[in-house]
Amino acid sequence: MAILSVIIAPDPRLKVKSDPVERVDAALRKLMDDMLETMYDAPGVGLSAIQVGVPKRVIVVDGARPDEERAPHRLVNPELLWTSGETVVIDEGCLSFPDLYAEVERPAAITVRYRDEHNEVRELDADGLLARCIQHEMDHLEGVLFIEYLSAVRRNIILRKLSKVRKAKERKSA
Ligand code: NI
């Protein structure tokens, strides 16, 4: 396994709509294993393939609490079959937005259909952190970032701050 480099916002690649996967093969399994290793190393609770520069409909998530055993999920071509009418507001983060957390409102529970790492079609009912992670990562497959749920004013402040941080880093490494 390998730790992959995660794309940091703002970056046009994060706005790309990802393509469906035709078949889950050994190369894709390796990508998902590497994505999980990268996610755990960060540490994070979810990662989409586009965040490591691969525009395929692939996400990995783990909704386990820190005191619980790891519960990795690999989801290929995920589709929401159902979302609860009830919504919840949760503080979200994203590995492409280091140190940024923002409250986002989304459905509390979902049912998702996907292909697993063995190319089998599965359905999963999720609530709590797992439901939240899956919805956040599925947005990445559409090129949608969680800051888009914030007000335009708040979003612009965050984006300006991020590009300042990046420019400072570039100057340092130049
Ligand atoms: Ni994210």
Q: Taking residues 48-61, report their average pLDDT.
A: 98
CATH number of 12-173: 3.90.45.10
Q: Residue 55's pLDDT band (boundaries 50, 70, 90)? A: very high
Tens digits of residue pLDDT in 32-47: 999 999 999 999 999 9
Q: How far apart are CA 10 and CA 139, in angstroms?
A: 16
Based on the residue annotation, tell me whether 137 is a catalytic residue of this protein: yes
52-56, 81-85, 116-120, 155-159: the lowest-pLDDT one: 155-159
Which residue among the candidates 123, 137, 142, 148 is catalytic per the annotation?
137
Q: Does the pLDDT of residue 166 top 80, yes or no? A: no
Mean pLDDT value across the chain: 94
Q: Please give the pLDDT value at position 174.
A: 67
For 10: left if phi > 0, alpha if psi spans -120 to 50, otherwise beta; the answer is beta
**Six token digits for residue 142:** 């559409």
**Six token digits for residue 92:** 């979200």
Q: Please give the pLDDT value at position 162.
A: 80
Per-residue buried b or exposed e for 43-53, using 16+ beta carbons within 10 Å of the residue's own CB: ebbbbbbbbbe
Q: Residue 99's pLDDT band (boundaries 50, 70, 90)? A: confident
Tens digits of residue pLDDT in 114-163: 999 999 999 999 999 999 999 999 999 999 999 999 988 888 888 888 88
Ligand 1: centre distance to CA 48 (Å) = 7
Q: Which residues pair with 58 in a beta bridge?
A: 76
Ligand 1: centre distance to CA 135 (Å) = 10
Ligand 1: centre distance to CA 133 (Å) = 9
Ligand 1: centre distance to CA 47 (Å) = 6
pTM attached to this predicted model: 0.92
